[in-house]
Structure 1
Amino acid sequence: MNIFSYRQASDATSAVTLKKSGPATKYLGGGTNLVDLMRETVEKPETLVDVTHLPGEIDQRADGSLLIGAVAKNTALAAHPAIRSDFPLLSRSILAGASAQIRNVATVGGNILQRTRCRYFYDNAARCNKRQPQAGCDALEGFNRYHAILGASDSCIATHPSDMCVALVALGTVVHLQGSEGTRSMPLTELHRLPGNRPEVETELQPDELITAIEIPPLGFARRSTYRKVRDRASYAFALISVAAALDIDDAGIVRDVRLAFGGVAHKPWRAAKAEAALKGRVAGTEAFRAAAEAELADAVPLRENAFKIELAKRTIVAVLDELKGENA
């Protein structure tokens, strides 16, 4: 690990000021991803700015929305009564990720900004455009069972590793930011970038911007929601495919509204807008669910080792929606 200095921020303003002290300065939350990357010498910050003293409250508002401080711990989020009752897909997604020990220290902001777990990104002996721009991508012809089938490019086929972000994207979460130019907000769907020919640029954040909070808008039918993660082993494994879903069906059996998002398929948490559009106004049932899945996966591009993901994703979508239909009955 390289030598670095450590600074502690007392609030968001001081954190941004410290971040501007040099281009090789990084914000430090729980450190569950950044410290790993430092050990592997993928990240080599000269200064770490500890932001864990910033607000981490979980505030339930009268309209049913939630305002969550960026340094709230993942464990606290998963266990919060309002989240367990009103947004169960979020609680389940967090519990599906990592281990209890990691969830106890990992922060919401850090989870959102974690970097890919692609083995070639972590391996300094491998070619990786994300780690070293224009170096090439060894994953294209290498071990790519876990890699992207949507939104990838010839420069990068890595996937975003977060479970929590998949649920947050489905819920229409808004991210609050602070930087040297002031404060702003953006939908989480717009925060992460697809790789294109610049996979090293992973988000739309400005260099000194800090996530200060996230906001989950009210969504009554999210009480009937779930998260399903398909993986190679039962725990501490990244998703081959994951689905976050909420479904609202009227008394006639028609889909009034639906939220769908995928993990394990793309460089960013994938909001399934085509599938949502295909379902609204349709009679809820396996046939409609399958048609919606087909619509969303129509543009999927398989690699040598992950073609199975396309059918797996379709079947997982249908299974999850069938489950929620039963809960609506």
Structure 2
Amino acid sequence: MKTFEFRHATSVDDAVTAGTAPGTKFLAGGTNLLDLMKGGVEQPESLIDLRRLGLTTIAPTAEGGVFIEAGVSNSAVANHPLIRTQYPVLSHAILSGATTQLRNMATAGGNLLQRTRCPYFMQTTFSSCNKRDPGSGCAARHGFHREHAVFGASADCVAIHPSDMAVALAILDAVVHVQGPDGRRTIPIEGFFALPGDTPEVDNTLGTGELVLGIELPPSRFADHSWYLKVRDRHSYAFALVSVAAGLHVTDGVIDSAALALGAVAAMPWRLREAEAVLVGRAPGDEAFHAAARLAMNGAEPLAQNAFKVDLGRHSVVRALTRAAAVRIDDEDQP
């Protein structure tokens, strides 16, 4: 590991000021960053520790939603009563990821900022990775790409974003609050992540020195009918091959609001607007769910090894919607 400077931020303003220096990284839980540093993928000149800033509160908002500060652990988010009752899909998603020990360390802000687990990015022995070394090429395109993107990829990168939490946040229309050198601003979750295009080294739309302060969840209509489905090679401690966050609001036996997003298919949570629209005005059931599934994978551009994700994605949408329609927040099988 490369030698680096280390200090504790004394305030948010102090962290933001320090974060504008070249080669500076913020440290919260460190569950991803430290692994990348040990492997030589990340080589910061300086680490600014955020853990003394106290951004560890989950609280209701005046609008009836919830605000999750960036330093709250993933475990605390998943197990908080407000999240479990009002936003159970978020609890499902977080509890499906990593191990208890990692969830105890990882933070809400850091979860959004984790980097891809593409093996060509994670291992410096591979020389071709545009995300790690811009201009070097994308070894995954002609190498191992079974787990890679089928939406939103480019000639320069086919990596996916690994977060489970972010997929649930997408259907909840979360808003990310950040502070940078020019003050505070908010970023809708759909505008937070960046597709690779010709700048695959850029993962998100944060500016230099901008610090994630927290995640705001507006009031949700999906407390009674939502689910997060994660399909993976093994049940424990594995990243998704395909995941689905599904939310339904049903009135008098008819769906009047729906939200769907896929994970592990793109460099960002992939919202399924067409599939959502076809659900509205229909009774929840196989006919409606299969109609949504037929639209879910429109525009997919799979590679040779991951074409199975197209069919898997359709089946997973049906399964997630079926589960969401059946579940209620008082179900005993809630995580």
Which one-letter code corresponds to 2:188 in the other structure?
P
Which one-letter code corresponds to 1:79 in the other structure?
N
Contact 1:64 1:219 in 2 (8 A): no
- TM-superposition CA deviations, 1:67-88 (whole Å, max 9, x none): 1110000010011011111111
* Alpha-carbon distance between aligned partners in 1 of 2:131 and 2:315, rounded to the nearest angstrom: 32
* Alpha-carbon distance between aligned partners in 2 of 1:255 and 1:224, rounded to the nearest angstrom: 11
Query: SS of the residue aligned with 1:223?
Result: coil
User: 1:253-292 maps to which residues of 2 (within 5 A)?
Assistant: 253-292=253-292
User: 1:182-221 maps to which residues of 2 (within 5 A)?
Assistant: 182-221=183-222
Q: Structure 1 residue 149: deviation in Å?
A: 0.7
Structure 2 unmatched ranges of 5 or more: 329-335
* Alpha-carbon distance between aligned partners in 2 of 1:258 and 1:319, rounded to the nearest angstrom: 15
- CA RMSD in angstroms comes to 1.2
User: 1:174-185 maps to which residues of 2 (within 5 A)?
Assistant: 174-185=175-186
Residue of structure 2 in register with 1:40 after alignment = 39
Contact 2:153 2:195 in 1 (8 A): yes
Segment drifting more, 114-123 vs 56-65: 56-65
Which one-letter code corresponds to 1:275 in the other structure?
A
* Alpha-carbon distance between aligned partners in 2 of 1:327 and 1:211, rounded to the nearest angstrom: 33
User: 1:124-135 maps to which residues of 2 (within 5 A)?
Assistant: 124-126=124-126, 127-135=128-136
Does residue 9 of the first structure (1) align with residue 6 of the second (2)? no
Q: Structure 1 residue 289: deviation in Å?
A: 1.5
Q: Structure 1 residue 316: deviation in Å?
A: 0.8
Which one-letter code corresponds to 1:94 in the other structure?
I
Which one-letter code corresponds to 2:23 in the other structure?
A
Residue of structure 2 in register with 1:232 after alignment = 233
* Alpha-carbon distance between aligned partners in 1 of 2:52 and 2:281, rounded to the nearest angstrom: 47
Q: Structure 1 residue 62: deviation in Å?
A: 5.3
Q: Structure 1 residue 243: deviation in Å?
A: 0.7
Residue of structure 1 in register with 2:169 after alignment = 168
- TM-superposition CA deviations, 1:139-168 (whole Å, max 9, x none): 011111110111111111101000011101
* Alpha-carbon distance between aligned partners in 1 of 2:62 and 2:191, rounded to the nearest angstrom: 27
Q: Structure 1 residue 186: deviation in Å?
A: 1.1
Q: Structure 1 residue 227: deviation in Å?
A: 0.7
Cα 1:221–1:123, aligned 2, differ >3 Å: closer, same or farther? Answer: closer
- TM-superposition CA deviations, 1:248-268 (whole Å, max 9, x none): 1221x3210011111111011
* Alpha-carbon distance between aligned partners in 1 of 2:186 and 2:31, rounded to the nearest angstrom: 25
* Alpha-carbon distance between aligned partners in 2 of 1:238 and 1:188, rounded to the nearest angstrom: 21
Contact 2:248 2:257 in 1 (8 A): yes
Q: Structure 1 residue 63: deviation in Å?
A: 4.2
Does residue 26 of the first structure (1) align with residue 29 of the second (2)? no
Q: Structure 1 residue 138: deviation in Å?
A: 0.7
* Alpha-carbon distance between aligned partners in 1 of 2:77 and 2:241, rounded to the nearest angstrom: 24
Residue of structure 1 in register with 2:52 after alignment = 53
* Alpha-carbon distance between aligned partners in 2 of 1:77 and 1:16, rounded to the nearest angstrom: 25
Contact 2:296 2:317 in 1 (8 A): no
Segment drifting more, 143-152 vs 269-278: 269-278
* Alpha-carbon distance between aligned partners in 1 of 2:165 and 2:315, rounded to the nearest angstrom: 21
* Alpha-carbon distance between aligned partners in 1 of 2:75 and 2:302, rounded to the nearest angstrom: 35
- TM-superposition CA deviations, 1:77-125 (whole Å, max 9, x none): 0110111111111011111011100000101000000000000001213
Which one-letter code corresponds to 2:59 in the other structure?
D
* Alpha-carbon distance between aligned partners in 2 of 1:62 and 1:246, rounded to the nearest angstrom: 23
Structure 1 unmatched ranges of 5 or more: none
Q: Structure 1 residue 275: deviation in Å?
A: 1.2
- TM-superposition CA deviations, 1:173-213 (whole Å, max 9, x none): 00001000111001011010111111111111101100011
Aligned residue pair count:
326
* Alpha-carbon distance between aligned partners in 2 of 1:86 and 1:141, rounded to the nearest angstrom: 44
Segment drifting more, 126-135 vs 290-299: 290-299
- Normalized against structure 2, the TM-score is what? 0.95
Which one-letter code corresponds to 2:157 in the other structure?
C
Contact 1:149 1:301 in 2 (8 A): yes
Identity of aligned residues (%): 50
Q: Structure 1 residue 283: deviation in Å?
A: 3.2
* Alpha-carbon distance between aligned partners in 2 of 1:239 and 1:183, rounded to the nearest angstrom: 33
Contact 1:87 1:223 in 2 (8 A): no
Does residue 311 of the first structure (1) align with residue 311 of the second (2)? yes
Contact 1:171 1:217 in 2 (8 A): yes
